[in-house]
Amino acid sequence: MIDKVVPNVHIALSGIKDGMTLMLGGFGLCGIPENSIAELVKMKTTRLTCISNNAGVDDFGLGLLLKGKQVKKMISSYVGENEEFERQMLSGELEVDLIPQGSLAERCRAAGSGIPGFYTPAGYGTEVAEGKEVKFFKEKAYVLETALEADFAIVKAWKGDAAGNLIYKATAKNFNPVMAMAGKITVAEVEELLPVGVLDPNQIHTPGIFVQRIFQGKTFEKRIEQRTVR
């Protein structure tokens, strides 16, 4: 059994360099790898291409990397909660590729499944389809989308073991599982790190075969993006 545990986030993210492509799991502020993002800010790595469902908020999540001008390009599906993102995009400082949410998830999953591309009706007739191949199946138009790969995929899980097996909790089981499949190197930060054999094999969402490094996160703020009260 290969022990994939590393002692801290600094070692977990070793090898990340300027200009690399990173996938970061999460949905809004739920299930984001908070410890890893904080470490990337300290590393001051620049010219990053970040693939993430969204761009965090101004003072949390990926918004911290944007604030430090560390991101060259964002590949996302929703970016409406971040004023700094909006400023950089409109000023031309930040390249942005907006993708329908389902297409973004499937492009990550396809990479992990060894599928180079697929056809989807999402985006046909819009800017999303510009410059892409279109085919008709049963008289319906489909757009060719290619798989997304990353130098590093950084995910957050509820529980994990030394072999890299992961279990996500509730809404955190969003982009984390598909992104964990798609990185050349996948790093998992977990709330609870357990010995091999403790996790129920029937409950595992990401098998350890996809994970190269795993570490126990220190603190998780788990901030709520939009708090609603009655």
**Residue 80 scores a pLDDT above 80:** no
Q: Are 31 and 59 in contact (CB under 8 A)?
A: no
Per-residue pLDDT reduced to its tens digit, 12-28: 999 999 999 999 999 88
Confidence of residue 197 (pLDDT cuts 50, 70, 90): very high
Per-residue pLDDT reduced to its tens digit, 26-56: 988 889 999 999 999 999 999 999 999 988 8
In CATH, what number does 9-114+148-216 get? 3.40.1080.10
**3-class secondary structure per residue, the chain:** CCCCECCCHHHHCCCCCCCCEEEECCECCECCCHHHHHHHHHHCCCCEEEECCCCCECCECCHHHHHCCCEEEEEECCCCCCHHHHHHHHHCCCEEEECCHHHHHHHHHHHHCCCCEEEECCCCCCHHHCCCCEEEECCEEEEEEECCCEEEEEEEEEEEECCCCEECCHHHCCCHHHHHHHEEEEEEEEEEEECCCCCCHHHCCECHHHCCEEEECCCCCCCCCCCCCC
Lookup result for tokens 């970061």: 24
- Half-sphere exposure at residue 63, Cβ-oriented, CA atoms within 13 angstroms: 17
Q: Are 82 and 55 in contact (CB under 8 A)?
A: yes
Q: Please tell me the pTM assigned to this model.
A: 0.91
- Half-sphere exposure at residue 94, Cβ-oriented, CA atoms within 13 angstroms: 29
Specify the pLDDT at position 203: 95
Domain spans of the chain, in order of start: 9-114+148-216
